[in-house]
């Protein structure tokens, strides 16, 4: 068996919800005695990770991502699945462990608890979680469903109340405008938890690229003199685009003035900036991933170039070109960003992210313009 290779997962065993903790303890006792001759099994745990899926299909697609996450961020996983049991008013549970080799003869395992709830048993899920949280460890709630968190109603409220951090992904929301508005409202009202949208994490290479491309040492005065921003995004990538515009506006002191929504695929916003008006155009591409694909910025005056273009090249780099030059002057690597990778990077960040909150607050204003 080579390093990094997964040790066969300890098979899920059904268990009564009240007996989960006892069953987990038994699992470890059995595992350590059964591993004689095999790898030494170490139980590792950095966090409690509560994952909510709205149906069994979502849970099936989340499972491999959870396995990838715990390999880098070992956790006690509590996977909650709505509509996951034929019994309408019951909770079904199983326990297992996810393991991988970390050195010769040494495997690290994370506990994995799955609790499925019938439609009328959803309200009981938080109580199951509450009894399973390991004290003194951070708790993160991954809202792994296509509905925005506030759509989860009281269930979401209770689960979020148990968590130090709430993570969601706006990339595939069915109604992005309503989702952004409701979520931003919840974030503004939520005093406790750290909140993160994985779409915001996807923007990090773009933010870094913009920071480097328009660094005042490189292009003195360009940031202050921006007058146009054109932004292209894939289908369902609108929340990400709003977040980027919200972030730029917040950082550069722009205030939104008015929006013009063209039928089809274009939204044009007017902003007032410290040095004059700024026109922002958001364009939806017909196809491609639900993410930001490119930006073009233009600014007034100055002796140097007055235009910068940032484009996603393949999945792993952003190219930056200036002026009329066709060839990129900078190429920035973009670390791989599947959802599991983004989660791994987000989980240890338990602080309040002010930049995100500010960007989301402004994104809300942009989204509201689309609501009836």
Q: Report the alpha-carbon distance of residue 184 to residue 358 in Å, rounded.
A: 10
253 token code pair: 């002191």
C-beta of residue 284 within 8 angstroms of C-beta of residue 233? yes
Beta bridge partners of 81: 53, 116
Does the protein bind another protein through residue 212 (CB under 8 A)? Answer: yes
Q: How far is the CB of 316 from another protein (least distance, A)?
A: 6
From residue 25 to residue 54, what is the string marking binding to another protein with x (rule CB under 8 A)? -----------------x-x-x--------
Q: How far is the CB of 289 from another protein (least distance, A)?
A: 18
Q: Which of 27, 129, 214, 308 binds another protein (CB under 8 A)?
A: 214
Q: Report the alpha-carbon distance of residue 28 to residue 353 in Å, rounded.
A: 37
Q: Which of 17, 275, 330, 369 binds another protein (CB under 8 A)?
A: 330
Q: How far is the CB of 360 from another protein (least distance, A)?
A: 13
Q: What are phi and psi of 28, to 5 degrees?
A: -70, -35
Taken in order 142, 203, 194, 120, is the CA torsion positive or negative?
negative
C-beta of residue 90 within 8 angstroms of C-beta of residue 124? no
From residue 247 to residue 266, what is the string marking binding to another protein with x (rule CB under 8 A)? -x--xx--------------
Classify 216 in phi/psi space as left (phi over 0), alpha (psi -120 to 50) or beta.
Answer: alpha
Q: Report the alpha-carbon distance of residue 167 to residue 176 in Å, rounded.
A: 16
Does the protein bind another protein through residue 73 (CB under 8 A)? Answer: yes
Rank residues 52 and 356 by Cβ distance to another protein and give the closer one. 356
Q: CB under 8 A: which stretch of 48-56, 121-129, 180-188, 208-216 binds another protein? A: 208-216
Chain residues that interact with another protein, rule: CB under 8 A: 42, 44, 46, 70-74, 102-103, 108, 204-205, 207-218, 223, 248, 251-252, 314, 316-317, 320, 329-335, 344, 353-356
């Amino acid at each position: 068996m080579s390093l990094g290779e997964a040790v066969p997962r300890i098979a899920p065993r059904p268990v009564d919800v009240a007996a989960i903790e006892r069953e987990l303890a038994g699992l470890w006792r059995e595992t350590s005695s059964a591993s004689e001759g095999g790898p030494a099994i170490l139980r590792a745990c950095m966090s409690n990770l509560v994952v909510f899926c709205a149906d069994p299909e979502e849970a099936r697609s989340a499972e491999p991502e959870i396995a990838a996450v715990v390999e880098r961020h070992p956790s006690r996983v509590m996977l909650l699945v709505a509509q996951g049991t034929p019994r309408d008013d019951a909770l079904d549970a199983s326990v297992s462990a996810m393991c991988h080799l970390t050195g010769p003869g040494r495997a690290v395992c994370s506990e994995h608890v799955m609790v499925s709830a019938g439609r009328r048993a959803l309200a009981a899920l938080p109580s199951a979680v509450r009894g399973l949280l390991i004290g003194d460890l951070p708790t993160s709630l991954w809202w792994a469903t296509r509905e925005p968190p506030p759509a989860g109603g009281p269930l979401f409220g209770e689960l979020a109340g148990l968590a130090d951090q709430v993570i969601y992904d706006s990339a595939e929301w069915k109604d992005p405008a309503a989702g952004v508005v409701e979520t931003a409202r919840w974030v503004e009202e939520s005093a406790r938890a750290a909140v993160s949208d994985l779409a915001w994490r996807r923007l990090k290479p773009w933010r870094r690229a913009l920071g480097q491309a328009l660094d005042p040492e490189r292009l003195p005065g360009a940031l202050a003199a921006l007058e146009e921003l054109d932004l292209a995004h894939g289908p369902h990538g609108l929340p990400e685009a709003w977040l980027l515009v919200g972030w730029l506006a917040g950082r550069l002191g722009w205030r939104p003035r008015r929006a013009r929504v063209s039928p089809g695929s274009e939204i044009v916003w007017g902003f007032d900036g410290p040095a004059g008006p700024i026109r922002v155009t958001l364009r939806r591409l017909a196809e491609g991933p639900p993410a930001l694909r490119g930006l073009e910025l233009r600014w007034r005056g100055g002796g140097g170039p007055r235009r910068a273009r940032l484009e996603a090249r393949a999945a792993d780099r952003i190219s930056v070109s200036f002026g009329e030059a066709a060839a990129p002057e900078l190429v920035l690597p973009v670390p791989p960003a599947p959802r599991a990778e983004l989660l791994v990077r987000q989980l240890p960040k338990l602080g309040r992210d002010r930049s995100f909150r500010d960007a989301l607050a402004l994104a809300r204003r942009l989204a509201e313009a689309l609501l009836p």
